[in-house]
Amino acid sequence: MKQVNAYGQPIGPALPGWTERPWPPRTALDGRYVRLEPLAATHAADLHAANIEAPDGRNWTYLGVGPFERLDDYAAWVATAAQSQDPLFHAIVDKATSKPVGVASYLRIDPKSGVIEVGHINYSPRLQRTPGATEAMFLMMRRAFDELGYRRYEWKCDSLNAPSRRAAERLGFTYEGLFRQALVYKGRSRDTAWFSIIDSEWPPLARAYEAWLDPANFASDGTQKRSLADLIRAARAG
């Protein structure tokens, strides 16, 4: 039902009982394939070793830092990033090897409005296109929605970053539009594509992620039996 104020002006839905949400804790997120740990200086050497397995520096094109050819330079960045509260960086650790293989963060954290963004995502070749890559995003979403009670979860990227846009769509984010000339980084202009998931959309998405990540969804050679997109459609249909 449309709500209006005392002057007959339309206003947004009331949120009775809404309170400011907690700040994300610096604690681990444990999954079947990966564990997310607060980023620490001790992760730098293994992360750098995983990153330099890439054939070139294209993973860094749309990030505000890098590429880092020298371990010392990367270690210096990790040491600084590990102290940040917002962004709040996590190392993504492969549970099979106990080695960190990627980085992701919460950022633009707004507890008052219950809005949080995921970003600074950098997956090494050891993490790309693995179940752990999807599970890392699922674990971060689950903390935001289920543990902390946030209302809105955002994904933003350079509008020219086609892999990031595809990833957002695969994960069930809704495209919201383009912010033109939103940022200057690495000496160039960026138009930013905005995506989001809101709390009412989360339950069917969570069911789809859990079904996709189930070991039964993978053949002995690692091939998926049902795609995440198919499972999301099925979960949303009820």
User: Scanning the structure block, which residue is given the tokens 């984010």?
Assistant: 173
Q: How far apart are CA 99 and CA 209, in angstroms?
A: 24
Structural domain contains residue 46: yes
Structural domain contains residue 9: no
Largest CA distance in the chain: 64
Structural domain contains residue 155: yes
pLDDT at 238: 82
pLDDT at 12: 94
Structural domain contains residue 170: yes
Strands 152-158 vs 115-123: parallel, antiparallel or unpaired = parallel
pLDDT at 172: 97
In tens digits, the chain (238 residues) has pLDDT values of 789 999 999 999 999 999 999 999 999 999 999 999 999 999 999 999 999 999 999 999 999 999 999 999 999 999 999 999 999 999 999 999 999 999 999 999 999 999 999 999 999 999 999 999 999 999 999 999 999 999 999 999 999 999 999 999 999 999 999 999 999 999 999 999 999 999 999 999 999 999 999 999 999 999 999 999 999 999 999 8
Question: What is the number of domains present in the chain?
Answer: 1
pLDDT at 183: 97
Domain that holds residue 116: 23-237
* Residues contacting 230, CB < 8 A, separation 6+: none
- The three-state secondary structure class of 98 is coil
Structural domain contains residue 49: yes
Q: How far apart are CA 197 and CA 80, in angstroms?
A: 30
Structural domain contains residue 1: no
Structural domain contains residue 186: yes
Residue 69 maps to which CATH number?
3.40.630.30
**Paired tokens of 142:** 């689950």
Structural domain contains residue 12: no
For residue 52, the tally of other CB atoms under 10 A from its CB is: 17
Q: How far apart are CA 144 and CA 23, in angstroms?
A: 10
